[in-house]
Amino acid sequence: MPQAGEFDRAKIAIVATRWNVEIVDALVAGARAALRDWGVNDKRIGFFRAPGAYEVPLAARLLLDGGYDGVVALGAVIRGDTPHFDFVAGECARGLIDVQLSTGKPVGFGVLTVNTVQQAVERCGPGTTNKGYEAAAAMLEMLRLRKELK
């Protein structure tokens, strides 16, 4: 957990997809809860929507280049009857790793990649097991590590 005042000056962005809105909004609520629990000032949190998971890496890159210290990337890619899932989920994950490595800034990966809607619902409930909460906490831990290593 954070030390008092550790993250009160951090500028954090949440980028969430427009697809599967009920699930994604629950992930957003989880991420906001984590940021609040870790002491991030509400006024220093930006919220943005990307059309879909495929577009999230570029959105994250633009936000990090625009002065944010870290990004929490949220979405839900649910397998369907076509290979579309494989392309979108894989490229989103690869793109976000590329963003982290090229900017040196952390991105919390909260994009669910599941087979069913039920699996997504199970991962976005209230509490610290919400994958949005976990993604925000992981991003903040990496922000801490980055600061320690400088």
Instruction: Show Cβ contacts of residue 133 under 8 Å, excluding neighbours closer than 6 positions.
Output: 30, 31, 33, 34, 127
Strand pairing class (107-114; 70-78): parallel
Parse the chain into domains and list their residue ranges: 12-145
For the segment 4-25, what is each residue's pLDDT rounded down to a tens digit?
789 999 999 999 999 999 999 9
**What is the reported pLDDT for 30?**
98
**What is the reported pLDDT for 136?**
98
**What is the reported pLDDT for 149?**
95
- CATH entry 3.40.50.960 includes domain 12-145: yes
- In this prediction, the residues of the chain whose per-residue pLDDT falls under 50 are none
Positions annotated as catalytic residues are 84
For the segment 96-109, what is each residue's pLDDT rounded down to a tens digit?
999 999 999 999 99
**What is the reported pLDDT for 127?**
96
φ, ψ (nearest 5 deg) of residue 4: -55, 130
